[in-house]
Amino acid sequence: MTAFQRRLNAVTRRLPAQTLLETTGRVSGLPRRTPVGGRRVGDSFWLVSEFGERSQYIRNIRADPRVRVRLRGRWYTGTAHVLPDDDPIARLRRLPRLNGLAVRAMGVGAGHLTVRVDLEEGGSR
């Protein structure tokens, strides 16, 4: 993550309409909230990590796949699955256009990685 992105995330995570991914810090055990873009399809939320395995939230998911996703101001509990065999560029074409542009702009040259979060019924935990 770049210094610019760290500053941008600090601002955007406070916006009520911003989609957030909450993981559990693999060392601290504390909740870690990251602004993300993606799309809900049925009972799953799809996103593409612009920095792939280097993303802290990917490392946190690998340690504990239980996550929460805030969509339109509502929290959903789910289980995240990192999908290295999924084509992240093809997946980006199915995500909101602005998300695809942002991922490509921030992650040029990086190994993109697809994540699917299977959302549980009932919303928040």
pLDDT on residue 121: 79
Q: How many CB atoms lie within 10 A of CB 38?
A: 25
Domain ranges of the chain: 3-119
Who contacts 88 (Cβ-Cβ below 8 Å, separation ≥6)?
48, 112, 113, 114
Residue 1 has pLDDT above 60, yes or no: no
Question: Which of the four pLDDT bands, split at 50, 70 and 90, describes residue 96?
Answer: confident
Type of residue at 57: Y
Does the domain at 3-119 match CATH 2.140.10.30? Answer given as: no
Phi-psi region of 8 (alpha: psi -120 to 50; beta: other; left: phi over 0): alpha
pTM, two decimals, is 0.79
